[in-house]
Amino acid sequence: MSDQNPYEKLGVSEEASFDEIQDARNRLFEQHSGDAKHLEVIEAAYDAILMDRLRMRQEGKIKVPERIRFPELRVQSPPKESPTPREQSPAWLQRMLDQPTPADILLPGAWFLGLSSISLFYPEGGEQILQLALVVGVGTSIYFLNRKEGKFGRAVLFTLISLIIGLIAGGLVASWLLPQISSFTNLGTNQFSTVVTFILLWLVSSFLR
């Protein structure tokens, strides 16, 4: 066995792959597991083959695949674009809606709560108080809308639309609801519609921009 070259000692050809050489070494180790001398010869042959392969690679006698020699030339697949989440609402609505902070909700809420209280408990025949409360409510809504993005015209438009809708809707609901609860309250139609308007103005000034 001493006259054999390292490849013959492992029982492989000189063209054998590294995996074949590795398998041959492991197989011989199992066959001669109790013979220290044989194991030493096998290990020496294995080391000699590794050194020979290293020398051949340095001399360019072993062709290294281009994917290893030139990894930068590999064609890289374009990165997959993650699917964009489907918008939950139209773009125009997203531009109108705001994500208010607690202060953006509570501060206008305190103003409109106070105005609603004045409207509910004003003396009989005090229509001027209701009108004054509505004027203050309109100014409050315009102020809080305008301070978000500084668009005064849009703040006025949203407020006026809310005022009209609130007064009309409040009057319609009052004409249907108040007769049914007249035994429990003496609210007038104007009082009720004013409070509904303040609720709508609060929602608009808090959640729109």
pLDDT at 138 (0 to 100): 93
Query: Measuring CA to CA, which residue among 161, 192, 163 is closest to residue 175?
Result: 192
Query: Mind listing the pLDDT tens digit for each residue in 140-196?
Result: 999 988 888 788 888 899 899 999 998 899 888 888 887 887 777 777 788 888 889
pLDDT of residue 81: 59
Q: Which two tokens stand for residue 56?
A: 């051949």
The tokens for 88 are 């939950």
Q: Which domain holds residue 31?
A: 6-73
Last residue of a domain, one of 73, 101, 129: 73
Does one domain contain both 49 and 102? no
Q: Answer yes or no: do 143 and 186 share one domain.
A: yes
Please report, to the nearest 10 degrees, the dihedral formed by the alpha carbons of residues 170, 175, 181, 183 taken in order.
120
Whether 81 is in a domain gets the answer no
User: How many domains is the chain built from?
Assistant: 2
Question: Does the residue 79 lie in any domain?
Answer: no
Complete DSSP assignment for 4-46: S-HHHHHT--TT--HHHHHHHHHHHHHHTTT-HHHHHHHHHHH
Residues 199 and 130 in one domain: yes
Judge if 153 and 184 occupy the same domain: yes
Q: Report residue 95's pLDDT band, with 50, 70 and 90 as the boundaries.
A: confident
Domain final residue pick, 73, 101, 119: 73
191 and 137 part of one domain? yes
Q: Is residue 78 part of a domain?
A: no
Half-sphere exposure of 187 (CA within 13 A, CB side): 26
CB 120 within 8 Å of CB 156? no
Count of H-run helices and E-run strands, the chain:
9, 0
Q: Are residues 99 and 53 part of one domain? A: no
Give phi and psi for 99, each to the nearest 5.
-110, 85
User: Model confidence over 11-60: pLDDT tens digits?
Assistant: 888 888 888 888 999 999 888 888 888 889 889 988 988 888 888 877 77
Q: Indicate whether 181 belongs to any domain.
A: yes
Residues 107 and 188 both lie in one domain:
yes
